[in-house]
Structure 1
Amino acid sequence: MAAFGWLTHRRRPATARSVLAGEAAAEAARKNEQAAGQAARGTAPEPAADEPVFPVVGDERAAAFFDLDNTVMQGATLFHFGKGLYKRRFFERRELVRFAWQQAWFRIAGVEDAGHMQDAQDSALSIVKGRRVAELTSIGEEIYDEYLADRIWPGTRALAQAHLDAGQKVWLVTAAPVETATIIARRLGLTGALGTVAESVDGVYTGRLVGEPLHGPAKAEAVRALSAAENLDLDRCAAYSDSYNDVPMLSLVGHPYAINPDAKLRRYAREHEWRLRDYRTGRKAVRVGIPAAAGVGAVAGGTAAAIALHRRRA
């Protein structure tokens, strides 16, 4: 997989479902931003004295896009939402065991396993089918306080705040449900979130997705669609991720950064002179390349599952 089409043309031919998922995520993100209005921003933690944030300059046509799991937050977001749903009796103990195993694997391997996603998605969506969007959104707010608030990487949070302070918009981009991602973005004072969109009719989940999970190429499609709607110049934008799976998104922007990278992304970033930083061990940033000038609740477990649970046994 060393030779990707997007490395030369910055665009890999995407499937129709990837494009649909990306466009749906961009539309949902813009609607959520408009609905939120000018919400108060959270207070960013100060970076350690020996860990200055990457330089960011003001640029109205630039924005920053942050992957969520292991980039902004320690571990898998959906695992913790799954725990919250289990606590509220959304599924059985045996499913929680599988959920815990997936989280343990994720933490040890440090990479996503796309091969499980379709089976997990089908299982997860069956959990939320027939549930009201408002109900799961409210539960998502509670779960954030219970499990996620203390798992945010201060260093990455400071990077996001640097973009905000420069007058840029900052978006999460994640395979997590868009409602879940939007809650996290709002709590952190970010602009909004691009996430997996689950279909709902009259405020009730149908058990189907719009397109596919926002993963890999679909993330790039979402960033591309949002950037077009926001009149952004992708060459002036920045993107941050820990995962090699996000090379499509990272390659799309002019300022890609590897944060807490998995082994494949670390090698790839060094080969392409992208800048790196690892907050997991306290190591200082590996400075590679030129300084930067870049300058859901609802399915909250619903697709919590969609990415983190294994096949649900009948």
Structure 2
Amino acid sequence: MTETVVERMPAPDPTAAAFFDVDNTMIMGASIFHLARGLVERKFFRTADLLGFAWKQVKFRVLGREDHQGIEDSREQLLSFVAGRRTDELAALCEEIFDSRIASRVWPGTRSLAQLHLAAGQRVWLVTAAPVELAEIIARRLGLTGALGTVGERENGVYTGKLVGGLMHGQAKADALRVLAEREGLNLANCVAYSDSHNDLPMLSAVGTAIAVNPDSGLREIARARGWEIRDFRTGRKAMKIGLPTILATCALAAAITAAVAGRRRTWQAPPPALGEACPRV
């Protein structure tokens, strides 16, 4: 089954816009994990530090659900890694990581939905718990209007390792949409939101039209109960071709990193294996 999107063009409306979650909605998997892997490869932190990210990615991909505390821990852990680094340095690395790890993981079907809104003259924002620097790069490279994301505190162009406010997650997304709507002259009743996660119920409920994309079990149940449209680009042969190998590769990644960490503990004089040798691409 090929992934095809055939749509009616949304009616032009300057007060209408579309909001897309990122992880497993716009891209396959968790953007924070792809960012972490890219930073490991660029010596921002150690391969062993990736283990926690790998386990959270396994849960996300295999179990199909997000853990709010796990997400918060991951963001705080990543912020601690970038503390003391220059913001322009991370921005440049995010550009590289988009090309090497994220561009090929964009869901074509979801991107087509975003393009329909743009073609109708509507603005399109990403709304994600990922660092805003990465979110803005993804939005710009996909030709979207902009992005709302988690903001890391900075002083004199250097990250402090702290958050400005909280995570762009759950209720925070809905609150951010209301602020954006007031600033941009949008009527949220005329807007559309797309997400895969039941954790985004506040955002989905804040707009006139909610669409579940690649939904987790919780959101699928809610969408059916409320009569929301469901789009699943993981089904059929496409899912067998992409989903299963990716899940297996993710599990292998976690095992490879665990083995590398254990080996380093047993033999301190032996350096950990290079990421490209120890970990398969996912």
> Under TM normalisation by the shorter chain, which class is it?
0.7 to 0.9
Superposed CA offset, 1:246-266 (max 9, x none): 000000000110000000100
Number of the residue aligned with 2:44: 90
CA distance in 1, matches of 2:31, 2:70: 16
Say if 2:184 is the partner of 1:230: yes
Superposed CA offset, 1:184-223 (max 9, x none): 0001000010000111111111111111110000011111
Tell me which structure has the larger Cα radius of gyration: 2
Residues 65 and 216, structure 2, Cα contact 8 Å, conserved in 1: yes
> How far is the alpha carbon of 1:89 from its aligned partner?
1.3
Residues 174 and 195, structure 1, Cα contact 8 Å, conserved in 2: yes
Residues 53 and 158, structure 1, Cα contact 8 Å, conserved in 2: no
CA distance in 2, matches of 1:266, 1:180: 28
Aligned length, in residue pairs:
237
Number of the residue aligned with 1:139: 93
Number of the residue aligned with 2:210: 256
Number of the residue aligned with 1:158: 112
Match of 1:191 among 130, 145, 148: 145
Residues 80 and 118 of structure 1: is their aligned pair in 2 closer, same or farther, counting only changes over 3 Å?
Answer: closer
Residues 119 and 148 of structure 1: is their aligned pair in 2 closer, same or farther, counting only changes over 3 Å?
Answer: closer
Number of the residue aligned with 1:71: 25
> Structure 1: any 5+ residue segments left out of the alignment?
1-45, 284-314
CA distance in 1, matches of 2:30, 2:112: 20
CA distance in 1, matches of 2:117, 2:61: 28
> How far is the alpha carbon of 1:56 from its aligned partner?
1.7
Residues 151 and 212 of structure 1: is their aligned pair in 2 closer, same or farther, counting only changes over 3 Å?
Answer: same
Question: Could you tell me which amino acid in structure 1 is paired with residue 67 of structure 2?
Answer: D
RMSD of the TM alignment (CA)? 1.7
Residues 211 and 230, structure 2, Cα contact 8 Å, conserved in 1: yes
Superposed CA offset, 1:147-195 (max 9, x none): 0111011000000000000000000000001110000000100001000
Question: Could you tell me which amino acid in structure 2 is paired with residue 60 of structure 1?
Answer: P
Say if 2:167 is the partner of 1:219: no
Match of 2:160 among 206, 213, 237: 206
Residues 72 and 117 of structure 1: is their aligned pair in 2 closer, same or farther, counting only changes over 3 Å?
Answer: closer
Question: Could you tell me which amino acid in structure 2 is paired with residue 239 of structure 1?
Answer: A
Identical aligned pairs, as a percentage?
56
Q: Which has the higher contact order (CA 8 A, sep 6+)?
A: 1
> How far is the alpha carbon of 1:282 from its aligned partner?
4.1
Match of 2:229 among 272, 275, 281: 275
> How far is the alpha carbon of 1:105 from its aligned partner?
1.3
> How far is the alpha carbon of 1:54 from its aligned partner?
6.1
3-state SS in 2 of match to 1:194:
strand
Superposed CA offset, 1:209-250 (max 9, x none): 111110000011111110110010000000000000000000
Residues 54 and 159, structure 1, Cα contact 8 Å, conserved in 2: no
> How far is the alpha carbon of 1:118 from its aligned partner?
3.7
